[in-house]
């Protein structure tokens, strides 16, 4: 788990405590961390530079992203990078995060502050390599198709082309 904006560390700590046999790596900004007791299965790293953060995320079996609010920017950078890396991502369902998951991956979204749902989902997916890999592959394909820089550029180019064609239409000429 990592990132900065609107992270639900309390829920994440509860999940890690319930799943004591699973090792967790939390990456946080020191200035945003409220000192809280850590279960022994958590390795807490502060202020990890982006290349090292990406390397850590690339090695994760599960990327956990619990969020506390419906901020439009909360978690989206971590979500898209993890998805594009082909990582399996569990994230809080918000009106913004659900747009990044195809219909067949909606069970990777959990309700806000629901540690029980996160524990259940991690337990279900943790040892199931084939299903976890298949879900991560579906998520990656969807993000590439809908939310990659190339997909955005294609949509922008399409809109520009549409506006140019509209401006050049005979009904727009004086």
Give the CATH number of the domain where residue 43 resides: 3.40.50.2000
Give CA–CA dist 121/107, Å, rounded.
8
Phi/psi at 160 (nearest 5 deg)? -60, -45
Separation of first and last alpha carbons in the chain: 58
pLDDT band at 69 (very low <50, low <70, confident <90, very high): confident
pLDDT > 70: what percent of the chain?
Answer: 94
Q: What is the mean pLDDT of the chain?
A: 90
How far apart are the C-alpha atoms of 137 and 143, rounded to whole Å? 10
Is residue 80 in some structural domain? yes
1, part of any domain: no
Q: Give the pLDDT confidence score for residue 137 in this predicted structure.
A: 97
Query: What is the band of 173 on the pLDDT scale with cuts at 50, 70, 90?
Result: low
Element (H, E) at 140: helix 129-147
pTM here is 0.83
2 inside domain:
no
Please check whether residue 130 lies inside any domain of the structure. Answer: yes
When pLDDT is averaged across residues 155-168 and rounded to a whole number, the result is 89
DSSP-assigned states of every residue in 4-36:
STTB-HHHHHHHHHHTTTS-EEEEE-GGGPPP-
Within a domain: 26: yes
Q: For residue 62, is it within any domain?
A: yes
pLDDT at 17: 97
Q: Which domain does 50 fall in, by range?
A: 9-172
For residue 3, being part of any structural domain is answered with no
Q: Which of 69, 70, 58 is CA-nearest to residue 27?
A: 58
Asked, for residue 4, whether it belongs to a domain, the answer is no
Please state the domain count of the chain: 1
DSSP state of 6: T
Q: Is the dihedral of CA 143, 149, 152, 157 positive or negative?
A: negative
Question: pLDDT tens digit string along 111-146?
Answer: 999 999 999 999 999 999 999 999 999 999 999 999
What was the pLDDT predicted at 10?
A: 93
């Amino acid at each position: 788990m990592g990132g900065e904006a609107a992270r639900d560390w309390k829920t994440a700590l509860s999940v890690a405590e319930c799943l004591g046999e699973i090792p967790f790596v939390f990456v946080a900004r020191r200035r945003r961390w409220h000192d809280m007791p850590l279960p022994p299965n958590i390795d807490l790293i502060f202020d990890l530079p982006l290349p090292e953060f990406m390397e850590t995320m690339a090695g994760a079996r599960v990327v956990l992203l619990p969020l506390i609010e419906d901020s439009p920017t909360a978690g989206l950078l971590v979500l898209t990078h993890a998805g594009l890396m082909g990582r399996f991502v569990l994230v809080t369902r918000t009106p913004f995060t659900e747009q990044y998951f195809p219909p067949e991956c909606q069970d990777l979204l959990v309700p806000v502050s629901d540690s029980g749902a996160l524990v259940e989902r991690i337990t279900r997916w943790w040892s199931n390599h084939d299903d976890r890999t298949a879900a991560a592959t579906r998520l990656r394909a969807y993000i590439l198709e809908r939310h990659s820089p190339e997909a955005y550029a294609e949509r922008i180019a399409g809109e520009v082309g549409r506006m140019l064609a509209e401006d050049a239409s005979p009904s727009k000429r004086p």
